Amino acid sequence: MKAFILFFACVLVVPRLALAEGGDTTKVALESNAEHDARMKWWRDARFGMFIHWGVYAVAAGEWNGQNVQTAGEWIMNGADIPVDEYEPLAARFNPVKYDPAEWVRAAKDAGMRYIVITAKHHDGFCLFDTETTDWDVVDATPFGADVLKPLADECREQGLHFCTYYSIMDWHHTAQQHGPHTYNPTLIDPARKQEYVVYMKTQLRELLDSCDPEVLWFDGEWPDWWTEADGRDLYNYLRVLKPTIIVNNRVAKGREGMAGLTKDDAQHAGDFGTPEQEIPATGIPGVDWESCMTMNGTWGFHKYDVNWKSSETLIRNLVDIASKGGNYLLNVGPMANGEIPPESIARLAEIGRWMKVNGESIYGTSASPIAAVPWGRLTAKQQGEQETLFLHVFDWPNDEKLHVPGLTKKVTAARLLATEDALPLSLDGADVIVDLPTTPVDRVDTVIALEVARGLDTAAE
């Protein structure tokens, strides 16, 4: 599995004109480990990003004909079997006059997030950017009449966040994709028009790269049978040739099922990171970059009946849990049709931000815990100069105020509370390192202790 990350495509600078949307034989070459690591670096270091699901479904807000539709907000077209011509008028009511991209980016940044992934086009086919390929977009079909992604991309750059876009391959609105009278998922495609649809996607993606220059392309809706592994690899290749530094998720090529088991040849062009959804893999996905995407309540797109909000304690601990297993956390918000992020989400982002302000060092640029699971919390690790730091995330404060760190025979040189910089006494108890804690936690959600260990020594007994 480790070999998986070694075989990704690399930079070949090809003039854009050489790349026809209809099909191109130019291939990106294999990249070296160092080139691959360089391309993935910002994303690996970031650890925490904001997912944004926004579109005309936010107007319906989970309700159709007075009924609470029990699917995620962005799935209402399928959940309520809404015919295309009855769904389209939602666009006429999409007028996000309170949309303030600077506020959104600030909310993400203050929460400690380092990147934003927003739905450029979800399964309903509606485009939040300006495209020449269709009028089913925010510029042509809504009273708002302006691109909403470009200002967000600009704000991200202004405030130092990485701007990224989600894009659905399945498209319930495109006439080449067929469905029964009331079933959208999964779509079928008119075989005579598949190539036309692929060109449509490639044209839109090029437009997106030109206008917003996203750093990640986050695909979804790859499960219809008509979308093949080969189609995915071709699309991956297309994007990497257009923008060699771009990072693409595994759903471009049905990687959700098979990413970890891919052979060398298959791995090339099958995507750069895994995408567990609404779950945290028990032991991470060793040897593979991955990102867990999760909601704050139960929906991605805004749904007014979904009040099943997770606590900020759960969200912070999820972030820590994921980092301790070597992954990224992509935490979703579903803005309302007026352009505001729900206040429940804003409150949780602020609480996560308070924790991150004190403890961010134990998340950014860290790697998975080098030791087995501990009963009191989680560990993250970081190389810093001559020292390696282990961050002990204490979820459950020991009654005797003695924190046992098992399986660690590296030379531990110091321990300190990250929040206060106060040094903590250390001792040994058999194979365990013991850290003497104060009587009460600094933060009952997760108090972090930084343990400095001499670099280069492994966990074997000396």
Q: What are phi and psi of 130, to 5 degrees?
A: -80, 120
Contact predicate 205/217, CB 8 Å: yes
- Dist CA 125 CA 196 (whole Å): 15
Closer of 250 and 389 to ligand GLC (Cβ): 250
Closer of 113 and 417 to ligand GLC (Cβ): 113
- Dist CA 94 CA 58 (whole Å): 8
Closer of 172 and 300 to ligand GLC (Cβ): 300
Total site size for ligand GLC, rule CB under 6 A: 8
Region binding ligand GLC by CB under 6 A among candidate stretches 27-35, 68-76, 83-91, 174-182: 68-76
Contact predicate 105/125, CB 8 Å: no
- Dist CA 421 CA 153 (whole Å): 37
- Dist CA 294 CA 150 (whole Å): 25
| Gyration radius of the chain's alpha carbons | 23
Shortest reach from residue 257's CB to ligand GLC, in Å = 13
- Dist CA 129 CA 144 (whole Å): 12
- In the set 130, 155, 220, 272, which binds ligand GLC (CB under 6 A)? 220
Closer of 129 and 300 to ligand GLC (Cβ): 300
Residue 202: partners with Cβ closer than 8 Å, 6 or more residues away:
21, 235, 238
Shortest reach from residue 430's CB to ligand GLC, in Å = 45
Closer of 103 and 277 to ligand GLC (Cβ): 277
In the range 264-323, which residues lie near ligand GLC by CB under 6 A? 277, 293, 300
Shortest reach from residue 298's CB to ligand GLC, in Å = 12
Shortest reach from residue 74's CB to ligand GLC, in Å = 5
Region binding ligand GLC by CB under 6 A among candidate stretches 35-43, 69-77, 236-244, 438-446: 69-77
Task: Please spell the DSSP secondary structure of 55-108, one letter per residue.
Answer: STHHHHTTEETTEE--S-GGGHHHHTT--HHHHGGGGGG---TT--HHHHHHHH
Shortest reach from residue 242's CB to ligand GLC, in Å = 24
- What does the block give as tokens for 96? 């996000």
Closer of 319 and 331 to ligand GLC (Cβ): 331
Angle at which helix 101-110 crosses helix 149-159, to 10 degrees, equals: 40
SS3 17: helix
Shortest reach from residue 145's CB to ligand GLC, in Å = 26
- 69 interacts with ligand GLC by CB under 6 A: no
Region binding ligand GLC by CB under 6 A among candidate stretches 72-80, 195-203, 208-216, 419-427: 72-80
Closer of 342 and 353 to ligand GLC (Cβ): 342
Shortest reach from residue 124's CB to ligand GLC, in Å = 10
- In the set 31, 48, 58, 74, which binds ligand GLC (CB under 6 A)? 74
Contact predicate 438/396, CB 8 Å: no
The 396-435 site mask, x for binding ligand GLC (CB under 6 A), equals ----------------------------------------
- Dist CA 383 CA 388 (whole Å): 4
Shortest reach from residue 253's CB to ligand GLC, in Å = 15
Shortest reach from residue 70's CB to ligand GLC, in Å = 14
- Dist CA 402 CA 164 (whole Å): 44
Shortest reach from residue 170's CB to ligand GLC, in Å = 8
The 40-59 site mask, x for binding ligand GLC (CB under 6 A), equals -------------x------
- Dist CA 158 CA 262 (whole Å): 39
- Give the CA-trace dihedral at 152, 153, 159, 163, to 10 degrees: 120
Question: Which residues in this chain contact ligand GLC in the complex, by CB under 6 A?
Answer: 53, 72, 74-75, 220, 277, 293, 300
